[in-house]
Chain A
Amino acid sequence: SAVISQKPSRDICQRGTSLTIQCQVDSQVTMMFWYRQQPGQSLTLIATANQGSEATYESGFVIDKFPISRPNLTFSTLTVSNMSPEDSSIYLCSVEQGVIGNEQFFGPGTRLTVL
Chain B
Amino acid sequence: AQKITQTQPGMFVQEKEAVTLDCTYDTSDQSYGLFWYKQPSSGEMIFLIYQGSYDEQNATEGRYSLNFQKARKSANLVISASQLGDSAMYFCAMREGAGGKLIFGQGTELSVKP
Contact-size category for A:
20 to 34
In Å, the complex CA distance between A96 and B98 comes to 11
Q: Which single residue of chain A is at the shortest CB-CB distance from B33?
A: A101
For window 29-68 of A, CB contacts with B under 8 Å fall at 31, 33, 37, 41-45, 48, 58
**Contact between A111 and B43 (Cβ–Cβ < 8 Å)?**
yes
**Contact between B35 and A43 (Cβ–Cβ < 8 Å)?**
no
Q: Which single residue of chain B is at the shortest CB-CB distance from A104?
A: B102
Which listed residue (A42, A103, A108) contacts B50, Cβ 8 A? A103
Interface size, chain B (Cβ < 8 Å): 23
Chain B residues with CB under 8 Å of A92's CB are 45
What is the minimal beta-carbon distance from A107 to any residue of chain B, in angstroms?
Answer: 8
What is the minimal beta-carbon distance from B15 to any residue of chain A, in angstroms?
Answer: 26
Chain B residues with CB under 8 Å of A58's CB are 101
For window 22-47 of B, CB contacts with A under 8 Å fall at 33, 35, 37, 42-47
What is the minimal beta-carbon distance from A91 to any residue of chain B, in angstroms?
Answer: 10
**Contact between B105 and A42 (Cβ–Cβ < 8 Å)?**
yes
Q: Which single residue of chain B is at the shortest CB-CB distance from A110?
A: B43
Binding site for B on A (CB under 8 A): 1, 31, 33, 37, 41-45, 48, 58, 90, 92, 94, 96, 98, 100-109, 111
New A-B pairs, 20, CB < 8 Å, besides A106-B44, A109-B45: A1-B47, A31-B99, A41-B106, A42-B91, A42-B104, A42-B106, A43-B91, A43-B104, A45-B101, A92-B45, A94-B45, A96-B99, A100-B50, A100-B52, A104-B35, A104-B47, A106-B37, A106-B46, A106-B47, A109-B43
